[in-house]
Amino acid sequence: MGYSALLLGALVAAPAFGQTFRRTAACPQLGCVFPPDQTDFIAGQTFDLRIEVQAPVNGSEAYNNGQVDKNFSIKIGGQGAELVDAAQFFGLSDPEAEKYNFTYYEDLFAEDAHAPTPVNVVAKSYRNLQLHTPGTYEVVLTYNNGDTTKATWTVADLAEKKKAKNVIFFVGDGMAGSMLSAARLLGHKTINGKYQSKLKLDEAPGYGSQMTHSLDSFITDSANSASALFSGKKMTVNGLNAYTLIQNSSTGKAYGDPKVETIFEMFRRIEGGQVGVVSKAYIADATPAAVCTHTSQRSQYTAIIEQYLSGVAGNYSWFPWEGVDLLFGGGGENFLPGPGNGNISQFDRWASEGYQVGYTKTELEAFDNAQRALAIFTQGNISTWLDQNVYTDLLDLAVTPQGKRGARDQPGLKDMTLKAIDILHTRSKERNTGFMLMSEAALIDKEMHVLDIDRALGEVLELDDTVRATLKHLEEIGELDDTLVVVTADHGHGFDVFGSADTKYLQQQNSDRAKRSAIGTYQNSGLSAYQVPQDVLANNHTIFQSPQGDGFPVTWDPRYTIAHGWAAIPDHREDFEVNKDHERVPAVKNTTGYFFNPEDNQRGFAMTGNLGTGDGQGVHSLVDVPVYAFGPGHEYFRGVMNSPDLAFKVALALDLGRNSNVTASYRK
């Protein structure tokens, strides 16, 4: 028998391992170490160490009839040095062992057969640890009569000097580079192939890209990806600065999974600095929550709101957090009395802790810059830029935190960001500290999921306008030279523009096939009609002013629009026009799954989906996303990066690394 035949036979005889479902993320053997192999730390960054020994009862990894070996040990040491017991290394008492169990499906066949694999576990958690000496560390878990699971950790070098006093970190949620190309086409005029103006982001002296995959999957969600940006650690999907060891939390406790400290938390702990969070999403959503909260499941909204204020989740906390300095966004429903928060109003509770509380743009503008502030403007997400500025009738459908209909007094991202800067600047100046602000253009992602590209691009242009205004405002208040401004995305969507569409012609065709003839490609794509009025040809060289100001379209609904598409779609109809009277709902559920929404884009042609029939919206993609940086330390952000690198570069600019444990005081 030849080599190829032998190899084929060996492959056929091998166990049927699956990867759709995993026993435990980043744990290739029955002994698990978290943080796992390949983890990097900022010197002095706080983290939890958790080890687990698992014994599946059945399946391809079945061990000892499900009986767990309790005789295990964990040792750690610098590379090349003698390894010592972890408790001794960190100067702790050895924690008590915990027992729990979980079940999972090995693959889709097991799920179809309703044949789960039970797994019994014994574990230990070492809490609130730090590594202060830069270099490489080896971690070895020994179990099951000599089996080992090894992890190599690296502590980054300390900064040679502090470059920035303040950091503003913008996140365009879901913003791929192709979206910026499309936004530039809509918001800026070309003459003979040359843009007459550009995005503010195009002027960034620091420019690069970053990879967004998660710890154990190549497509990420916003919880994992934002955690990577803010803590420098790859997480699993749904995990907020905590390793989600199995699908529904390894410990069986909502907040018992091993946690890691974010750069915002380090900044507060080490310097006593001021921290603010701004988002157009509901404020308990994944990206804003990743600034300073810890849970294995991003859906723990009540606990996330509590952690913003107290830093406590269950019985777990890092240090006296004392609350964010400001929190602006949507999501009033998570502040209302309910069983999850003891039937108390979080609005009243935050007010009792000294926060100004507001619900409108008018109240936001009236805030005292010297006091901490909570401003929640809507239930759910804040309205999109397009609805706030162009198709304003939709504002009457918005719901305020108090439940009243009508929300025409909402702020935009720029309003919230500039006010946040004023508050943080005032408070930090009084306290002789710096400040850190996270500002999220959240609705880019929300609108991309429902294939509403016009609203998504409006959010991209609003972000660019906000960055422009931010840099100008920093100069006005004397903070420009001391403030690092970073702009990036947490992930992308598989979107691009491939031509133009003659919407008038498309509407008058009677078949899907004929409607597709309205799409023009290459030379037939023509010029952008978004920078001229409706009755003016796109090749007119006059530069017209947008009603919404520089950097926005002159008209949002020209006859010739961009023709665009996605890599991941549900069944939907496409007419390439603005949905003027509603946000898109591309697919609706029936007895067979999600199918074409009969009320959406009725004049468009059918695009059959390529996602599973259980998905009614688009999903994230693998594409690398852009990184832009302005100000001191901007040079660190050039080239191709992995998402955790950004946290390390911010820490380097702020000189957050420490060779000993440091906890500064914070003044409310």
The per-residue pLDDT for range 608-640, each reduced to its tens digit, is: 999 999 999 999 999 999 999 999 999 999 999
Q: How far apart are CA 605 and CA 514, in angstroms?
A: 9
Mean pLDDT of 510-517: 96
Is 564 among the annotated ligand-binding positions? no
- Element (DSSP H or E) covering residue 206: strand 206-211
Q: Where does 492-542 have alpha helices with state H?
A: 503-507, 512-515
DSSP 259: B
pLDDT at 404: 55
Q: Which residue has the tokens 């305020």?
A: 400
| Digit-coded pLDDT (tens) for 364-404 | 999 999 999 999 999 999 999 999 999 998 888 777 776 65
The pair of structure tokens assigned to 549 is: 């100001």
Pick the closest to residue 282 from 399, 387, 179, 391 (CA basis). Answer: 399
Q: Which two tokens stand for residue 25?
A: 């993320």
Q: Is 397 exposed, middle or buried (0-12, 13-18, 19+ CB in 10 A)?
A: middle
pLDDT of 412 reads 97
Q: How confident is the model at residue 430 (pLDDT cuts 50, 70, 90)?
A: very high
Catalogue all structural domains in the chain, each as residue range(s) with its CATH number.
Answer: 3-155 (no CATH), 166-494+623-654 (3.40.720.10), 498-566+569-607 (no CATH)
pTM tops 0.85, yes or no: yes
Give kind and range of the element (H or E) at residue 423: helix 413-431
Annotated ligand binding at 482? The verdict is no
Residue with the larger pLDDT of the pair 450 and 581? 450
pLDDT at position 518, please? 96
37 in a known ligand binding site? no
The answer on whether 445 is annotated among ligand-binding residues is: yes
- Helix ranges restricted to H, 477-602: 503-507, 512-515
Nearest residue to 520 (alpha-carbon basis) of 548, 559, 483: 559
For residue 440, say whether it is annotated as part of any ligand binding site: yes
- With 50 as the cut, is the pLDDT of residue 601 above it? yes
Compare 39 and 104 and report the one with higher pLDDT: 39
Percentage, residues of the chain above pLDDT 90: 81
Q: What angle do CA 295, 300, 301 make, to 5 degrees?
A: 120
Check 125, 209, 214, 222 and give the catalytic one. 222
65: how many CB neighbours lie within 10 A of its CB? 9
CA torsion sign, 466 to 324 to 305 to 643? positive
| pLDDT exceeds cutoff 90 at 556 | yes
Model confidence pLDDT, tens digit, residues 105-137? 988 998 899 999 999 999 999 999 999 999 999
Q: CB within 8 A of 174, min separation 6: which ones? A: 222, 444, 445, 448, 449, 456, 489, 490, 491, 492, 493, 620
Question: DSSP letters along 140-192, please?
Answer: EEEETTTEEEEEEEEEPPPPSS---SEEEEEEETT--HHHHHHHHHHHS-EET
More confident: 618 or 297: 618
Cα gap 293→307, rounded to integer Å: 6
pLDDT classification of 1: cutoffs 50, 70, 90 = very low
Length of the chain: 668
d(CA 282, CA 305): 11
Residue with tokens 């100000």: 631
Burial 518-544 (b: 16+ CB within 10 A, else e): bbbeeeebebbbbbbeeeeebeeeeee
Task: Give the model confidence (pLDDT) of 333-352 as tens digits.
Answer: 999 998 878 889 999 999 99
Contacts of 7 (CB under 8 A, 6+ apart): none
Residue found under tokens 């027992």:
99
Better-scored residue on pLDDT, 21 or 109: 109
Taking only the tens place, the pLDDT of each residue in 133-171 is: 999 999 999 999 999 999 999 999 999 999 999 999 999
For residue 224, pLDDT over 50 is answered with yes
Per-residue pLDDT at 297 exceeds 90: no
657: phi > 0 → left, psi -120 to 50 → alpha, else beta; which? beta
Distances (CA, A) of 301 to 57, 288, 400, 490: 34, 12, 18, 20
Kindly list the distances between the CA atom of residue 233 and the CA atoms of 14, 28, 53, 282, 638, in Å, as whole numbers in the listed order.
Answer: 34, 18, 23, 24, 20
> Can you read off the two tokens belonging to residue 254?
């909502």
Q: Indicate if the pLDDT at residue 5 is higher than 80.
A: no
CA nearest 144: which of 61, 54, 60? 54
* 615 residue type, one letter: D
Instruction: Note the pLDDT of residue 221.
Output: 86
- Residues 123, 126: Cα–Cα separation, whole Å: 10
Cis peptide before 558 (omega within 30 of 0): no
CA distances from 665 to 272, 400, 657 (A): 5, 36, 18
Q: How many alpha carbons lie under 13 Å from residue 599 in its C-beta half-sphere? A: 7
Dihedrals φ, ψ of 418, to 5°?
-65, -40
Q: 581 among the known binding-site residues?
A: no
Within its chain, how far is the Cα of 255 from the centroid? 20
Whether residue 7 is predicted with pLDDT greater than 50 in this model: the reply is no
For residue 294, say whether it is annotated as part of any ligand binding site. no
Q: Is position 222 annotated as part of the catalytic site?
A: yes
The overall average pLDDT reported for the chain is 92
Residue 19 has pLDDT above 80, yes or no: no
Q: 612: how many CB neighbours lie within 10 A of its CB?
A: 10
Distances (CA, A) of 632 to 35, 420, 649, 653: 31, 20, 11, 7
* Two tokens, residue 344: 């108390």
Residue 213 marked ligand-binding = no
Q: Percent of the chain at pLDDT above 70?
A: 95
pLDDT the model gives residue 403: 60
| Residue 47 token pair | 């983290």
Instruction: Report pLDDT for 399.
Output: 78
E-assigned strands of 270-368? 274-282, 326-330, 356-358
Cα–Cα dist 279/330, whole Å = 7
Check residue 557 and give its pLDDT: 96
Confidence (pLDDT) at 284:
94
Q: Give dist(CA 539, CA 542) in Å, integer.
A: 9
| Burial class (CB within 10 angstroms; exposed 0-12, middle 13-18, buried 19+) of 5 | exposed
Q: Give dist(CA 155, CA 601) in Å, integer.
A: 53
Collect all residues with Cβ–Cβ distance below 8 Å to 268 and sequence separation of at least 6.
275, 321, 666
User: Is 40 marked as binding a ligand?
Assistant: no
